[in-house]
Chain A
């Protein structure tokens, strides 16, 4: 038989894309016929399962590179959160002096617990956005599911933040923060943050590949984001209207939720008034954040997966 004009039998042509990295089929059949959101998701999950060793190796690479030839090694994982806390203290002192009030240790604890998740989010944003473009030589030469690149960037960042988180966990009792039942919110909120960060990384890495402007946009956010997110200051300090606007930022309710539940032992299913008297925490913030985190992740995964095949050509 050999190399003749291939007469492919109809069965092989219509069985569609088989999930998995190695058994594959691709064609120019119109997108509407092939793609359903659920089908895409199943495909991505199957590919991720097959590529778990690759994800692990890439994350390991990112972690190793970061700490190789660095004299301080893993201590660097603490530097950004520590810088956030120190900057926060400076701002707090200034605010306290201007308003004539004292700062207390609980405020410091609230800041420390927000600093690490914020550093995590910022790190995911910068390394996630760059993940596709900086691995371009791989993307244009070797096939593998491209989702692994932003995913491993987020995982490497998670490792860093885990070190920072452990450090904060040791620190918190000394800042007068005690344990309570409300600690159950901690894993919930961190999971939401993780999903939101992954979704954002997927979305931005893809966008950055097609439009290099995105990188600059992200840089602007990395520089000024801390002013529109309650990290150094708490949201209620911006007043009733200001705090409501600030809480529209999907990261804000997560960070404030962490502070309220861990430091102030507040049950997030209950509304809470700010010290100034206005209603500050609204339980539906949780639903709002969940929608952003899971909906955003779903949307980003599907968009990423559908654009994936054009990556090598755009790059």
Chain B
């Protein structure tokens, strides 16, 4: 058997803006053009057409996990549909060697009038499983979904969460040679999401080639070996997860990278410590730049924020003024910041900028950097509270 591999070779995909007329009335002129040899080539743009994917190439082999990120409409899902053969490339070539498991639209084949049990067999078959394999894994699938009490209930009576859980459980038992994942991590409640992500990690770490699309950047950072950032169908950045995610967050986060000012300029922020940082330990950040004009009381010349890629929210925010550092006078500066990562494991962006405190808005920003925090001293939750436990007295213990 050939080794499983996904190849995308200079793929272009054209779509049409506006309505495609599909009635017989339009067929006759089109056929006449075809007969006279004036039919437009499918690889060229006609009026109203646009490229949903332009000249995209990648190759994913065993042990590699490729993440594709980008804003809505950037061509991520189109890329996956090209990979899974739902769409045909307008130009270029793509191929998959091996049995494909796609964690996409995991309950698309469900029929409301059928019971959960009947739908497991139906959806499994649609995803390419053999009936005998489904029979063999049926109990496992139901067990994983956690809805065994309702397996003989019609699916139309299910909640949307139950629907998604059952769908994911089927897809998670595919045993593929190649895995394609599209934004299915947000399935069900918290505990099921953890279980689902655990299953995906298990599959990804089994060494099969994986391509995944997600907006949960910390998941991408955790699982992927390579990341491509798409924007309007084109590759905006590609490389290691931290480089690509940094590039994406800067470009994406309300055009942060674009903010330059006459008052202050920043050099790219540097992480001085080794990555990843263990939870609870410190890491150092170096920020340099130049202040051009003296700045007033209402301006924070050096605001620093840490953003969680899991939630997208700010977990920490401070600044030079709050830390009693005077940077308001013109001239170059070179600042060293030591931060303690009292954070759960995950990926974080360090964002630096100059802020107008009245408008609560950055008027200048530095390109952000990503910090990976790895599992440290045992704690779960969102903040490290450095619990200190002491035993004062204990009853029932045998005394010597």
Contact = CB atoms under 8 A, between A and B. Distances in A.
Interface of A: 1-6, 8, 12-13, 21-29, 53-54, 56-58, 60-61, 64-65, 68-69, 137-144, 210-213, 309-310, 312-314
Nearest to A9: B7
Chain A CB within 10 A, most for which of B9, B42, B60: B9
B24 A142 contact: no
B258 to A, nearest CB: 26
Given A6-B57, A57-B121, 10 more contacts: A3-B226, A3-B239, A53-B131, A56-B131, A61-B111, A141-B104, A141-B105, A144-B126, A213-B24, A310-B88
Given A143-B84, A211-B24, A6 B131 contact: no
A309 B86 CA distance: 7
Nearest to B67: A3
Contact of A142 (B7, B104, B238): B104
A26 B94 contact: yes
Contacts of A6: 7-10, 57-59
A3 B238 contact: yes
Interface of B: 7-10, 15, 20, 22-24, 27, 42-43, 57-61, 64, 66, 81, 84-100, 102, 104-105, 108-109, 111, 113-114, 118, 121-122, 125-131, 177, 225-226, 228, 238-239
B97 A61 contact: no
B357 to A, nearest CB: 42
A28 B93 contact: yes
Contacts of A27: 89, 92-95
B228 A22 contact: no
A5 B93 CA distance: 12
A21 B176 CA distance: 13
Contacts, number: 148
A199 to B, nearest CB: 21
A252 to B, nearest CB: 26
A312 B81 contact: yes
Contacts of B89: 26-28
A140 B58 CA distance: 24
Contact of B102 (A58, A68, A143): A143
23 contacts: A3-B59, A3-B238, A6-B59, A22-B98, A23-B97, A26-B85, A28-B93, A54-B125, A57-B121, A57-B126, A60-B122, A61-B111, A61-B122, A65-B113, A65-B114, A138-B108, A138-B109, A141-B86, A141-B108, A142-B127, A143-B84, A144-B126, A314-B22
Contacts of A68: 113-114
Contact of B64 (A2, A5, A60): A2
Contacts of A2: 64, 225-226
Nearest to B82: A26
Contacts of A3: 58-60, 66, 226, 228, 238-239
B128 A144 contact: yes
Closest 7 CB pairs of A and B: A27-B93, A57-B125, A141-B105, A309-B88, A25-B95, A54-B125, A22-B99
B58 A211 contact: no
A25 B87 CA distance: 12
B22 A210 contact: yes
Contacts of B113: 64-65, 68-69
Contacts of A142: 84, 86, 102, 104-105, 108-109, 126-127
B302 to A, nearest CB: 35
Given A56-B131, A141-B105, A314 B20 contact: yes
A139 B8 CA distance: 22
B365 to A, nearest CB: 28
Contacts of B239: 3
B7 A143 contact: no
A6 B100 CA distance: 20
A114 to B, nearest CB: 32
Contacts of B43: 28
B58 to A, nearest CB: 4
Given A68-B113, A138-B109, A26 B122 contact: no
A26 B58 contact: no
A27 B97 CA distance: 14
A57 B133 CA distance: 14
Nearest to B112: A65
Contacts of B100: 22, 24, 143
Contacts of B87: 309, 312-313
A143 B99 contact: no
A215 B98 CA distance: 38
Contacts of B125: 53-54, 56-58
A69 B99 CA distance: 38
Contacts of B92: 27-28
A53 B58 CA distance: 33
Nearest to B64: A2
A23 B58 contact: no
Contacts of B88: 26, 28, 309-310
Contacts of B128: 21-22, 54, 144
B96 A24 contact: yes
A304 to B, nearest CB: 15
A123 to B, nearest CB: 19
Nearest to B240: A2
A87 to B, nearest CB: 31
Contacts of B58: 3-4, 6
B52 to A, nearest CB: 10
Contacts of B86: 139-143, 312
Contacts of A54: 125-126, 128
Nearest to B13: A313
Nearest to A57: B125
A278 to B, nearest CB: 39
A233 B328 CA distance: 100
Contact of A211 (B27, B66, B99, B130): B27
A54 B121 CA distance: 9
B248 to A, nearest CB: 15
Chain A CB within 10 A, most for which of B24, B89, B90: B24
B23 A212 contact: yes
A216 B85 CA distance: 31
Chain B CB within 10 A, most for which of A22, A58, A309: A22
A142 B129 CA distance: 13
